[in-house]
Structure 1
Amino acid sequence: MAVTPPPSLPAHPDPWLDTILHGDLPHELAYAFGGPVHLLLPERFDVNVTAFRTALDEAGVDGRVYYAKKANKAAAWIERCAVHGTGVDVASLGELREALGHGVRGESIVVTGPSKSDDLLRVAVLQGCLIAVDALDELDRVVSLTTVTRPARLLLRRLPPAQPHSRFGLNDAELATALERCAEAADAVRMEGFSFHLSGYATQPRADLAGELVELCLKARVMGLQADRISIGGGFAVDYAAASDWERFLREQGPGDYHAGKSFTTADFYPYHSPIAGADALRAVLTAAPSGSGAPLADRLREAGVMLLMEPGRALLDRAGCTVFRVQGIKDRSGYAILTVDGTSLSLSEQWFNSEYLPDPVLLTTGDRPDGAPVRACVGGATCLESDMLTWRKVTFPARPRPGDLLVYPNTAGYQMDSNESPFHDLPLPPKVVVGEADGRIRWRLDRRPPS
C-alpha cells in the first residue's frame, strides 16, 4: 500500500532568489550578524509598482499607486518611492516623518488610519498630504488646523455597507453631515473625494463599492466640492504557491501534521494561492461592472473624470524579500524532530493572526554530509516559551538539519518581517540587508533604517 507523503507547500520557483541563496552570501551574513537576517530585493518592488501602473494604463484610467508603508518598515521601499514618484500610505506621525525624510513629497502621501493625533494631522496639513477622514470629530479637527496659505486636502472614508460592523469609516448619515461641513468650510478644505478599505481579497465587492463612490463624487460636485478621486485601499492578494499544491495542502493537512497536535482553522490561513493576484486583481476590479451598472468600472471612472487611487502593501512586496535563520540545535521526538533556530516567531508575524506562515522553509546545508532519509521537523524559536514556534507544521527536509545550517523562509517582505518583532530575551532584531546586482556581481548593504 502506497504511503501518502505529508502535505507540503513549496513557494513558486524563483530563479533570481535561488542564485542568491546558493551562493556564499546567506552564510556570510548569518555569520557576520550572528543571528537571523532579512534580505530585501528592491528591484522586485519596482517591478510590482510598474505592473500596477501598467494595468491602469491598459484600462485608460487615470490613477495613482500608494505603497502601504505598514507592510514593511524598511527604508529601501520608501527610497524607491521617492525616486520613481510612487505615493506612500502612512498611518502615524513616525511613518509620515520617515516618508518625508526619505524624499517623498507631501503631495504624494496619503494619511489613513482612525482617530489621527493632532500632531499627525498638523504635519499632514502643512505638508499638503491627502488625509482620509474617518470620523466627524476628526473632520472638525482637520478644519481647525488649516492655514491661510494651504487648505487641508481630504477624502471622506466610507463605511462599507457590506461590512457594517467595521469600526472604520462614515455611515450614510455621517457622510451627509461631513459633506455639508466640507461645503461650509469653503476654501479651508479641498474635499477631493472618497475612500474605503474592504477586508478580504474579492474583486467584485471592490468594484461595486468603487462604483458607489463614483456616484458620490458626482453628487458632491453639485455641492461645489472638487470630488474627483476615489481610493479603493489595498487587499490585492499575493500568489505564493501553485494551485495544485495549495489545494492538496488544504485537503490533506490535519492536527497530526503539527507539533503537539496543534490545530488551525483553515479559514484563518492566508490564501497562499490566488488565481487573481497583484496587478491582475486590479485589472479584475477595473473590468468588473459595479452592481446596478452594465459598464465596467474603468468606463465609469473615465466618463465621470474620477481618478483611481489604491494602497497596496503586500502586493508591492511580492517576492521582494526573504528571512534567513540559523539552526542552533535539533532534538528527536516520536516520528519527527524539533529544530531550534537563532531567532523567534516574532519575525514571522502570521501567528499574530493565530495562523501559520505556510510556504515551506528551504534548508541550506553547510559542508558535505552522507546521504540519508528525509527528515520531518517543526521549527521553534530560541526563547523559553512553548508557543514560540516559527513553524508548528512538521516540514519534510531533504536531509537531517544540523547546527550551522540555514533555514530560509521565502517571500516574507509583506507583513511577515516586522509587524510584531520584539527584542524579547534581549535578542537583537534581525537586520535588513538590501541585495541587488551591480557590475555583474551580487552586492549588499544594510538598509539605512536601523531596526527598532
Structure 2
Amino acid sequence: MDTRTAPLLSSPIQELLSERTSLSDWVSGFGSPLHVVFPAQARENYRQWEDLLGRAYGSCKIQFALKSCKSSALLQAFAKAGAGADVSSAQEIVSAFVNMVSAHDMAMTGPAKTNHEMALCLKHRIPIHVDCIEELRRLLDIAGWAGDPARLFLRLRPGSEARSRFGMSPDQIEECLNLLKAAGVDQIGYSFHLNDYEMSSRVRELGRCLQLARRSHAAGFRCCGIDIGGGFPMRYLAGFDRDTYNNGPLWSGRCASGTYPYAAETYGPFHAAAVIATALADPTDLAFLEAGNIPILLQPGRSLLDQCGVTAFRVTELKALDENSQIAVLDGMSFSLSETWFGSDFVPEPIIINVGNRAPRTADLHTYLVGRSCLESDVIRKRSIRPSNGISAGDLVVFVNTAGYQMDSNESAFHQIPLPRKLAAVRKSTGWAFHLDEQGSREE
C-alpha cells in the first residue's frame, strides 16, 4: 500500500479487517459489493460533535443530512443520541419519522419543494427553508388550507457566489419579510448554502445572517435560528499531496483526485466549532443570540459519518494489460463508490484482504480496479494500486470510510443487478455480530 494515501482507520474497523473471516463470510452470504455500517461509531461521533459545539456556543442543534447516506441503522443511532434530520424530499421525511426523528427536529432544506412536500411540512409543522420569493408565495398560498408555518428560514445567497442558483439577495430577503409581515408570520430564521469547504466563507456568511437577524428583530420579527448548513470537511488521510497523486499512474492518464480536502488540518466538529467561535467574537452578537435563546443549527452529513462504514468488493478476475500492469475486475460497479460521479477518484487506498489458498498472487504489479458493467467508464479507481501481497480472484477489495456519500448516493440497479445490501456491524465480547441495516440500530 502507498502510505501517502493509506486511510485513517478506527479501532473497530482495524479489528474487523484484521479478523478477515467475518467480512469475507458476510460478502459470501449477502453479495458483492457489501456495505457495512457501525451504529456505535455514529453515537460516538454525535457525542463528540455535541461536546465541541457546546464549548463554542451553548445552543447548537445538529441535524444529520439524510442525503449523505440512506442507512436506517445510522440514522436511528443519531436520532437516539439526540440528533435531528436534514431532509429534502417527502421520502426523506418518511425515513426520518420511521427512524425516530420528531417533526420539530427536522428541517426541510431542499431548494425546490413540491406543493405536496410543502403541505406535508405545514401539516406536521416541520421547519421549512425558503430558497426564493416565488417559493415563498407558493408556500403562503398552500398555508391557506394546510396550516400556518411553524418556523421558516430564509436562505441568503452567499456574497462570494453571486451567480449561485441557491438563495436570495438582501433585497429579495427584504421583499420576503414584507410578504411575511403582511401574512402575519413573525417567526423566521436565516440560512445559507456554500459550495466549498472553507472556514472563512462560513464565518463571513454566519456574520451576514447575524446582521439580518438583528435588523429583522428590530422590525418586529422573532428569530427562530441561524442555520449554517454543512460542508465541514472530513479527514480521510494523515496527509495528502494532490500533485503527486495526479502525476502517478492513472487510467487513460486522466487527472483523478478531484478537489476534496482529504487531509484537512481542521476538520469535522473542530471545523464547525471554530466557525461559530470566530463568528461570535463580537460580544454583542453573542449577547443577541443568548438573549433571544436563538439556536445555531448545523447539518453535517459526511463529517458526522467519520469511520461509520466500509464497502467490500469481491475480485472476479484479473486481466493482464502488459508486463507491468493488470486490471482487477470487481463484482460490482462504480455506482457503489459515488465519487466517480464527479469524474474523480475516492482517494484513500483500498485495503486488500487475501482470502484462502488461491492461485499465486503476483505482487507489485500496477493494478487498476474496474467494475463489471459494459461501460468503458466503469472504472472504480483511476489511480493504480500495487498490493504488497498481491491480489487474485476471490480476494476482497475494501474501501474504508464510505458511509458519507460514497455508498449509495449514486447507486443503480444497472443490468438489473440488485442494489448492494447493507449490514450493521456490532462488536460483542464474543466477536462480531451483524443485522440487516433496515432493522435499525437495535439495542446492543
What is the distance in 2 between the residues matched to 1:15 and 1:274? 21
Q: Which amino acid aligns with 1:365?
A: N
Please report how far the alpha carbon of residue 21 of structure 1 lies from its aligned counterpart in structure 2 after TM superposition: 1.9
Q: Which residue of 1 aligns with 2:213?
A: 217
Q: Which residue of 2 aligns with 1:326?
A: 314
Deviations 1:219-249 (A, max 9, x none): 1122221114100000000000012xx12xx
Cα distance change, pair 218–256 in 1 and its aligned pair in 2 (3 A): closer
Please report how far the alpha carbon of residue 439 of structure 1 lies from its aligned counterpart in structure 2 after TM superposition: 4.7
Please report how far the alpha carbon of residue 102 of structure 1 lies from its aligned counterpart in structure 2 after TM superposition: 2.2
**What does 1:296-335 correspond to in 2, within 5 Å?**
301-302=289-290, 305-334=293-322, 335=324
Q: Which residue of 2 aligns with 1:83?
A: 80
Q: Which residue of 2 aligns with 1:342?
A: 331
Q: Is the 8 A contact 2:46 2:78 kept in 1?
A: no
Q: Is the 8 A contact 2:151 2:224 kept in 1?
A: no
Quote the sequence identity (%): 31
Please report how far the alpha carbon of residue 6 of structure 1 lies from its aligned counterpart in structure 2 after TM superposition: 6.9
What is the distance in 1 between the residues matched to 2:81 and 2:278? 29
Q: Is the 8 A contact 2:31 2:421 kept in 1?
A: no
Please report how far the alpha carbon of residue 55 of structure 1 lies from its aligned counterpart in structure 2 after TM superposition: 1.6
- Segments of 5+ residues of structure 2 without an aligned counterpart are none
Range moving further from structure 2, 421-430 or 272-281: 421-430
1:359 aligns with 2:348: yes
Q: Which residue of 1 aligns with 2:200?
A: 204
Q: Which residue of 1 aligns with 2:115?
A: 118
Q: Which amino acid aligns with 1:234?
A: G
Please report how far the alpha carbon of residue 145 of structure 1 lies from its aligned counterpart in structure 2 after TM superposition: 2.6
Cα distance change, pair 209–294 in 1 and its aligned pair in 2 (3 A): same
Cα distance change, pair 181–403 in 1 and its aligned pair in 2 (3 A): same
Q: Is the 8 A contact 1:375 1:399 kept in 2?
A: no
Please report how far the alpha carbon of residue 101 of structure 1 lies from its aligned counterpart in structure 2 after TM superposition: 2.2
What is the distance in 2 between the residues matched to 1:296 and 1:433? 49
State the secondary structure of the residue aligned to 1:145: helix
1:104 aligns with 2:101: yes
State the secondary structure of the residue aligned to 2:265: coil
Q: TM-score, normalised by structure 1?
A: 0.91
**What does 1:163-242 correspond to in 2, within 5 Å?**
163-186=161-184, 189=185, 191-242=187-238
Please report how far the alpha carbon of residue 441 of structure 1 lies from its aligned counterpart in structure 2 after TM superposition: 3.0
What is the distance in 2 between the residues matched to 1:426 and 1:274? 39
Please report how far the alpha carbon of residue 80 of structure 1 lies from its aligned counterpart in structure 2 after TM superposition: 1.9
Cα distance change, pair 269–42 in 1 and its aligned pair in 2 (3 A): same
What is the distance in 1 between the residues matched to 2:380 and 2:146? 53
Please report how far the alpha carbon of residue 12 of structure 1 lies from its aligned counterpart in structure 2 after TM superposition: 1.2
Q: Which amino acid aligns with 1:157?
A: R
Please report how far the alpha carbon of residue 375 of structure 1 lies from its aligned counterpart in structure 2 after TM superposition: 2.9
Range moving further from structure 2, 50-59 or 226-235: 50-59
- Segments of 5+ residues of structure 1 without an aligned counterpart are none
What is the distance in 1 between the residues matched to 2:203 and 2:293? 16
State the secondary structure of the residue aligned to 2:386: strand
Q: TM-score, normalised by structure 2?
A: 0.92
Q: Which residue of 1 aligns with 2:415?
A: 425
Please report how far the alpha carbon of residue 162 of structure 1 lies from its aligned counterpart in structure 2 after TM superposition: 1.0
**2:264 aligned residue (269, 274, 286):** 274
Q: Which residue of 1 aligns with 2:154?
A: 156
Cα distance change, pair 205–269 in 1 and its aligned pair in 2 (3 A): closer
What is the distance in 1 between the residues matched to 2:269 and 2:377? 36
Q: Is the 8 A contact 1:6 1:257 kept in 2?
A: no
RMSD, aligned α-carbons: 2.3
Range moving further from structure 2, 226-235 or 441-450: 441-450
Please report how far the alpha carbon of residue 304 of structure 1 lies from its aligned counterpart in structure 2 after TM superposition: 6.2
1:288 aligns with 2:281: no
Q: Is the 8 A contact 2:123 2:146 kept in 1?
A: no
State the secondary structure of the residue aligned to 1:397: coil
1:408 aligns with 2:398: yes
Q: Is the 8 A contact 2:361 2:391 kept in 1?
A: no
State the secondary structure of the residue aligned to 1:205: helix
Q: Which residue of 2 aligns with 1:253?
A: 245
Q: Is the 8 A contact 1:322 1:411 kept in 2?
A: yes
Q: Which residue of 1 aligns with 2:369?
A: 379
Q: Which amino acid aligns with 2:340?
A: Q
What is the distance in 1 between the residues matched to 2:92 and 2:336? 20
Q: Is the 8 A contact 1:330 1:338 kept in 2?
A: yes
Q: Is the 8 A contact 1:111 1:129 kept in 2?
A: yes
State the secondary structure of the residue aligned to 2:222: coil
Deviations 1:268-319 (A, max 9, x none): 33111100000100121022247xx755975664466431001000011111
Please report how far the alpha carbon of residue 121 of structure 1 lies from its aligned counterpart in structure 2 after TM superposition: 0.6
What is the distance in 1 between the residues matched to 2:96 and 2:2? 45
User: How many equivalent pairs are there?
Assistant: 436
Please report how far the alpha carbon of residue 385 of structure 1 lies from its aligned counterpart in structure 2 after TM superposition: 1.3
Cα distance change, pair 73–398 in 1 and its aligned pair in 2 (3 A): same
State the secondary structure of the residue aligned to 1:88: strand
Q: Which residue of 2 aligns with 1:67?
A: 64
Q: Which residue of 1 aligns with 2:5?
A: 9
Q: Which residue of 2 aligns with 1:263?
A: 255
Cα distance change, pair 205–38 in 1 and its aligned pair in 2 (3 A): same
Q: Is the 8 A contact 1:239 1:277 kept in 2?
A: yes
What is the distance in 2 between the residues matched to 1:121 and 1:144? 10
Please report how far the alpha carbon of residue 399 of structure 1 lies from its aligned counterpart in structure 2 after TM superposition: 2.1
